[in-house]
Structure 1
Amino acid sequence: MTDQPAEGDPPVSFVDEHLKAYLTSGGAEGHILDVSSAGGHALTTNCLLKVVGRKSGKTYVTPLIYGNVGGEIVIVASKGGADTDPEWYLNLVESETLGVQIATQAFEATWREPEYEERHQVWAYMTHLYPPYLGYQTATTRHIPVVMLRIVKPISVFTA
Structure 2
Amino acid sequence: MSVNDGAAGAPTDSPTDWVAAHTKEYLDSDGEKGHIWYKDAPTLLLTVTGRKTGQRRRTPLIYGRDGDDYLVVASKGGSDTPPEWYLNLRAHPDVEVQVGNEHFQARARDAAPEEKPRLWATMAAIWPDYDEYQKKTDRQIPVIVLERR
TM-score w.r.t. length of structure 2: 0.86
Q: Which structure has the greater CA radius of gyration?
A: 1
Any conservation in 1 of the 2:45–2:99 contact (CA below 8 Å)?
yes
Number of positions where the alignment pairs a residue of Structure 1 with one of Structure 2: 135
Deviations 1:23-48 (A, max 9, x none): 12222211001x2xxxxxx3210000
CA RMSD in angstroms comes to 1.4
Cross-structure match for 1:143: 140
State the distance in 1 between where 2:66 and 2:105 align.
18
Tell me which of 30, 47, 50 is aligned to 1:26. 30
Runs of 4+ more than 4 Å apart: none
1:107 matched to 2:104? The reply is: yes
In 1: Cα distance, 2:16 partner to 2:62 partner: 20
Structure 1 unmatched runs, 5+: 1-10, 36-41, 153-160
Identity of aligned residues (%): 44
* Residues 54-65 of structure 1 mapped to structure 2, 5 A cutoff: 54-65=51-62
Q: Take 2:110 and 2:120, find their aligned partners in 1: how far apart are those partners?
A: 11
Match of 1:13 among 17, 20, 23: 17
Q: Does structure 1 residue 85 correspond to structure 2 residue 82?
A: yes
Separation in 2 of the partners of 1:77 and 1:140?
12
Structure-2 separation of matches of 1:12 and 1:116:
33
1:112 maps to a residue whose letter is R
Preserved contact between residue 93 and residue 109 of structure 2 (Cα < 8 Å): no
TM normalised by structure 1 equals 0.80
